[in-house]
Structure 1
Amino acid sequence: MKVAIYNLYWSTYGGGEQVAAAAAEHLLNAGHEVVAFGPEPLDIEMTTKRLGRDLGRCEYQRVTNDNEASEASSTVDVFINCTYLSSAIPRSPRSMYYVHFPGVPLTNRRKVSSTLSTVGHRILSPFASLPGPLEGVRAGFARRIHDVSWAKRYTVVAANSAFTAEWVQRLWGVDADILYPPVEVVTQPSTGGHLVMSLGRFFDRSFGHCKKQDVLLDAWELIEQRSALHDWSVRMIGGADGASRDYVLDLRRRALDLRAEIAVNAPRDLVLSTLGQASIFWHAAGFGEDPSTHPDRFEHFGIAVVEAMSAGLVPIVFGAAGPSEIVRHGVDGYHWSTVDELIELTELVAADSAEWSRLSQSARERAQQFSDAVFGERLQALLK
């Protein structure tokens, strides 16, 4: 079977590319012929280094946009679209669209514009040719139509979580199967030191999607003021670029007076060593946001949450979207909805070694359900 995997951003080595590369490697290992569709050839060495995937046997075909991808898909048996917000129409016998997130709800103004444009385009579409100004009007109508009919052309639509699948149904009117991203589980359990950890990119709040490390630092400051967990500390690790410089600097200034460390663009070794030392994992993405208007500001899955659980850290996560699916409240971690709850649950777990041990063991077992092996099995089942 010849399978094409379409991704316009292979060279960014992000979460979407991790899924695309994992799918390619699993299909190659299953004996299928795999071709990567993208704007530039795969850098095999860098893909191995950054994503941990060997795609040396993968073929390549240059594709620079959705129209080219649609045309090229007619040459393969299965077309897998892993490009974020793509609207490529598949022409292969079988196809899969992997949804990282389907976008954001239309504003009322945008809904009205789309409806009126649909009517206007329908009126003008019977005419083969129109005078110049009217042709421009017809083209303008076409651009403003919110058309998601292409989504129904895929054999399988797969979402990275039930949260994402719910929004696929709301925004695209399509039922999606769930295919959780593969997570590299940590095999060595944590020693359970007096350390709280968070792991996630530092985004300034102005970008919308923010991991809310400032909220976590607020909570930690209150913990220290209460003289609770006096021999504990917190370490927040994540990447950042210049656009979030002020956000990071503010966190670092505040951390100077606390038992807190802000580790920016830290090497992977520090991540692994922290996973081997910490007892508790904090996560706050989505806190203070409205899911009905800004679902994009929530954690759609939560790879870092699973990674921490695989090391035996007890996750205490904001109880919404992806992390609330991963973590079963009271079984392998806890959900919180207010900063006070976050503090209370953290103090509870830190003070009760038996409770920590119970949750830690359950968290490690739960993490195995999101492993690379499970991803491969589920992928093969969906493509049958």
Structure 2
Amino acid sequence: MSRVAIYNLYWHTYGGGEQVSGAFAEFLAREHDVTLLGPTRPDIDASRTRLGVDLSSCEFVAVMDDDEAAEASSDFDVFVNGTYRSHARNRARRGIYYVHFPEPPATSRERVRSAVSQVGLAAMGPLVRGWEGDDTAHRVKRAFARRRRDLSWVESYSNFAANSEYTAGWVRRLWGAQSSVLYPAVRPVVTDVAESDKQPLIVSVGRFFDPKLGHCKKQAELLETFAQMHRSGRTLVDDREWRLAFVGGADAASREYTLGVRRAAQGLPVDVHVNKPREIVESNLRVGSIYWHGTGYGERLANHPERFEHFGIAVVEAMLAGCVPVVYGEAGPAEIVRHGVDGFHWHSPEQLAEFTYLLMTDPAKRQAMSHAATVRGREFSIDRFRSAIGAIVN
């Protein structure tokens, strides 16, 4: 029996990354002593309800950052790092890093800053040794260290597991490391969905992020496509008006973007649900017939790979609810959705409208693809995930 540490700085958010870390912990706790590392102890009941994982047999040790996690890792046989964009150095006998997405490519300014910091570190070495006890010299050296783009910590890990082929490709490119692909486990948001539940509704689930913040879900662009379809009369099919529903959270930093979407939706058959209970997601997916996804549209893959969907948990949740996905055909969703089989890939607003209208006007195709989407979604099950964890750990 080994001593295993699972490190996650964001247990309290109960998001997709925490679901993966929790699944690692629950599975490994069957045969090993597992300790959770993070700033705050995860709530056992909330983890069971919101993440679908049982952490009751796990211990907990508080660590506040990568440095403390690295230090704590030396007390364990296996260190599993599930923290997004962590640079914690593994000091356990074996280290496994689950990669949600690696550090984005360095800009020219960042490359210059890193080079200057590297020179500064080299110059500060003799000075710090000569000024023992001088806090100022040590602070300057630490500042240089923080600004240096240092990837030496990568070599401290035995295994890397990526959440998609897309992410694995960027791990190779940015970190120079090989990784196996371990798709996250996705639980159904709703169960026992009947064909009779479905209504003429398009659903899009995702946080409202201002484009200036990077990972935008492109609600404004999706809304504009729907508005054009509405103006051309293509949202009225067989005397039934199709609607569009956005569901997602928003914070103060994205307030203006969210309000802009709401203003643009006025006068259209569009609902914008912001910061609503999880039940709103559930009810919309239950009755929704089509799912829209747009993350990555209009972005340059080579410059900003982090702005694309790294995997697409919400896409799989929609498929499990019987919604036919029409996704932007790059990155994670392009791996999940098989074009023309259980959904469609779009690369232009015109294609988004074309594929959507095809589904609106062909109930038989929509029903067949709904069934195929549900079957495909089940491939991302917890049982498959646990089996893959076992293969990586063993």
Question: Same-fold call, TM > 0.5?
Answer: yes
Aligned-pair CA distance for 1:170: 1.5
Change (3 A) 1:135 1:19: closer
Q: How does 1:161-310 map to 2 (within 5 A)?
A: 161-185=164-188, 186-191=190-195, 192-230=198-236, 231-310=241-320
Aligned-pair CA distance for 1:145: 2.3
**AA aligned opposite 1:4:** A
Aligned-pair CA distance for 1:26: 2.1
| CA distance, structure 2, for counterparts of residue 9 and residue 134 of structure 1 | 33
Q: How does 1:17-96 map to 2 (within 5 A)?
A: 17-28=18-29, 30-96=30-96
Give per-residue Cα distances to partners, 1:307-353, cap 9 Å, x unaligned.
11112211000111111111111121111111111001100111112
Give per-residue Cα distances to partners, 1:285-326, cap 9 Å, x unaligned.
111111111112111111010011112211000111111111
Change (3 A) 1:68 1:218: same
Aligned-residue CA RMSD (Å): 2.1
Change (3 A) 1:272 1:124: closer
| CA distance, structure 2, for counterparts of residue 66 and residue 80 of structure 1 | 13
If the length of structure 1 is used for normalisation, what is the TM-score? 0.93
**AA aligned opposite 1:147:** D
Contact 1:163 1:300 in 2 (8 A): yes
Equivalent residue number for residue 13 of structure 2: 12
Change (3 A) 1:229 1:52: same
Give per-residue Cα distances to partners, 1:85-124, cap 9 Å, x unaligned.
2211112222211111112111123223323543554566
Give me the identity figure in percent.
48
**AA aligned opposite 1:36:** L
**AA aligned opposite 2:193:** P
Moved more, 219-228 or 131-140: 131-140
| CA distance, structure 1, for counterparts of residue 85 and residue 357 of structure 2 | 41
| CA distance, structure 1, for counterparts of residue 278 and residue 137 of structure 2 | 58
- Within the candidate set 322, 335, 338, 1:325 is matched to 335
Structure 1 residue matching 2:392: 3-state secondary structure: helix
Structure 1 residue matching 2:247: 3-state secondary structure: strand
**AA aligned opposite 2:6:** I
| CA distance, structure 2, for counterparts of residue 137 and residue 27 of structure 1 | 42
Change (3 A) 1:136 1:238: closer
**AA aligned opposite 1:210:** C
If the length of structure 2 is used for normalisation, what is the TM-score? 0.91
Give per-residue Cα distances to partners, 1:55-106, cap 9 Å, x unaligned.
1211111222222222221222211011222211112222211111112111
Structure 2 residue matching 1:151: 3-state secondary structure: helix
**AA aligned opposite 2:322:** G
Equivalent residue number for residue 4 of structure 2: 3
Change (3 A) 1:135 1:337: same
**AA aligned opposite 2:82:** C
**AA aligned opposite 1:216:** L
Structure 1 residue matching 2:71: 3-state secondary structure: helix
| CA distance, structure 1, for counterparts of residue 120 and residue 205 of structure 2 | 49
Unaligned runs of 5+ in 2: none
**AA aligned opposite 1:24:** A
**AA aligned opposite 2:104:** V
Change (3 A) 1:109 1:203: closer
Aligned-pair CA distance for 1:136: 7.2
| CA distance, structure 2, for counterparts of residue 248 and residue 141 of structure 1 | 38
Q: How does 1:123-142 map to 2 (within 5 A)?
A: 125=125, 129-130=129-130, 141-142=144-145
- Within the candidate set 362, 370, 376, 1:366 is matched to 376
Contact 1:188 1:276 in 2 (8 A): no
Change (3 A) 1:122 1:14: same
Change (3 A) 1:64 1:255: same
**AA aligned opposite 1:64:** M
Matched, 1:378 2:388: yes
Structure 2 residue matching 1:41: 3-state secondary structure: coil
Contact 2:6 2:25 in 1 (8 A): yes
Contact 1:311 1:364 in 2 (8 A): yes
Aligned-pair CA distance for 1:138: 5.4
| CA distance, structure 2, for counterparts of residue 361 and residue 262 of structure 1 | 27
Contact 2:41 2:60 in 1 (8 A): yes
Change (3 A) 1:140 1:115: same
Give per-residue Cα distances to partners, 1:18-52, cap 9 Å, x unaligned.
21112212222x33221111122232233233323
Give per-residue Cα distances to partners, 1:217-240, cap 9 Å, x unaligned.
101101111111312111111112
Change (3 A) 1:109 1:206: closer
Moved more, 120-129 or 290-299: 120-129
Unaligned runs of 5+ in 1: none
